[in-house]
Chain A
Amino acid sequence: MERYNRQTILQEFGEAGQRALKNASVLVIGAGGLGCPVLLYLNAMGVGRIGIMDGDQVQISNLHRQVLFGEGDLGKNKAVTAAKALNTNNSQTQIDVFQENITKENAVNIVFEYDIVVDCSDNFPTRYLVNDICFLMNKPLVFAAINGFEGQVAVFNWKSSGNYRDLYPIMPVFGEVANCEETGVLGVLAGIIGSIQAAEVIKIITGIGQPIAGSILNYDLRDHSQIQFKYKINPSTSPSWENFRHSDYAEICELPQTQLIDLPAWEKIVENESMTIIDVRNHDEKPKLKIKHLSLPLPELKKQFHMLPLGDILFICQTGKRSREAVVIAQSKDEGTRKFFTLQGGINALRQLN
């Protein structure tokens, strides 16, 4: 076809590559800074079926980087508006519009319909939800995220390439990592990273080249430096259906100061054995605690919660991160009859006592 001639004459791509695109279906989650360039290129190049998922409306502060939208689109739903713009470029694409954000409830049925998922979202709860459902349903996931002048890209669940939790097992606390609204982002950065993301989708579909699998690419616009960091697969942090069902994928907030235990308070608790201490690290993690405690790895906490002894509980882990999540989980399971605490800084902080 004349339309795709300039790419089908590429020997490595050819008519076969074009057919592969035509037969492919791709779900793009988020039609924002990353979503716009991803959608533009997948649609223009001839991907047969594209799902667009976004529950947000176009705002004036989006226009500098969300290049599918214009001034006349302010206040309109992004998925609907993006679909219209794409249709003017290529009317042959089947476009499915989802005017909603992805949730635990709608994720399974929607993701099921597509060959590949592209994460163009802008917040951690969505990113962890998308990661988990793609892992559980074994869908290739093309991930990208931007911050200031830098971007990250990785392909997960593709030929055993691992998942986001192999890098960052636990969601950062709300407010820890600022988003584009807070720190700002150079418009063109979204274009560059989104285009790399679109290229990864095309490569997976057509088998051309080597996708960024088993490593994460960090790109810096300021000097165009690119470094790929390899990561190892860690089955102990992999998503499970059990955790998917129980997680609310909400922002994890900081705990009140009264639930954070500092070193002097820790020494008193250990001396008086005033509450149960539970180590939520995995069984093989070192150093082992030398004081009286129970061991219950975080992934098992939800299932085993009813087995815990009565009374107040102090959770502990290596850095204080998993133990904080343990407090949140315990509070959601408990009927409000007891208190839960976390050791600030975790076992790493205990070294200051020696």
Chain B
Amino acid sequence: MEIMIFGHLTEITRSKSIDAPCAKNIAELRHNLEEMFPGLVGKTFVIAVNNQLETEEYVLSQNDRLALLPPFSGG
């Protein structure tokens, strides 16, 4: 599954776009991502599916467009 990465999370993933193994829901995707990139553990971010922020139970399908969006604080 292709995932777009935003903000400072790209410092952890080293790329604006990554490929992750298929996951059945967001909780599993989050878990997989944390194994691929241990730097993500404990980081605050929400996961968007097709440009809509979704919660942990959301069931994913193969062609979903995914994105990791962290909060910014700078002004």
Q: Which residues of A contact B (CB under 8 A)?
A: 30, 32-35, 119-124, 127, 144-148, 150-152, 167-168, 170, 172-173, 176-180, 183, 185, 190, 216, 218, 220, 227-232, 286, 318-321, 345, 348, 351
Q: Which residues of B contact A (CB under 8 A)?
A: 6-8, 27, 30-31, 41-44, 46, 48, 51-53, 56-57, 67, 69-75
CB of B44 within 8 A of CB of A321, answer yes
CB of B51 within 8 A of CB of A122, answer no
CB of A177 within 8 A of CB of B8, answer yes
Contact partner of B75 (CB less than 8 A), chosen from A122, A167, A168, A227, is A122
CB of A122 within 8 A of CB of B74, answer yes
> How many inter-chain residue pairs (CB < 8 Å) link A and B?
100
Q: How far is the CA of A69 from the CA of B21 in the complex (A)?
A: 50
Instruction: Sample 13 A-B pairs with CB under 8 A, ordered by A number.
Output: A30-B75, A122-B75, A145-B71, A147-B7, A147-B72, A147-B73, A148-B7, A150-B7, A168-B46, A183-B74, A227-B51, A228-B51, A320-B42
Q: How far is the CA of A300 from the CA of B70 in the complex (A)?
A: 27
- Please give, as numbers and ranges, the residues of chain B lying within 8 Å of A145 by CB-CB distance: 71-75
Q: Give the most central of A168, A220, A229: most B CB within 10 Å.
A: A229
Q: How far is the CA of A150 from the CA of B51 in the complex (A)?
A: 17
Contact partner of A146 (CB less than 8 A), chosen from B52, B57, B74, is B74
Contact partner of B71 (CB less than 8 A), chosen from A33, A167, A227, A319, is A167
CB of B75 within 8 A of CB of A172, answer no
Closest to B8 in A: A147
CB of A178 within 8 A of CB of B8, answer yes
- Please give, as numbers and ranges, the residues of chain A lying within 8 Å of B69 by CB-CB distance: 216, 218, 229
CB of B48 within 8 A of CB of A229, answer yes
Known: A231-B46, A321-B42. 6 other contacts (CB 8 A): A119-B75, A121-B75, A146-B75, A147-B74, A218-B6, A232-B52
Q: How far is the CA of A67 from the CA of B16 in the complex (A)?
A: 31
How far is the CB of B7 from the nearest CB of chain A, in Å? 5
- Please give, as numbers and ranges, the residues of chain B lying within 8 Å of A144 by CB-CB distance: 75
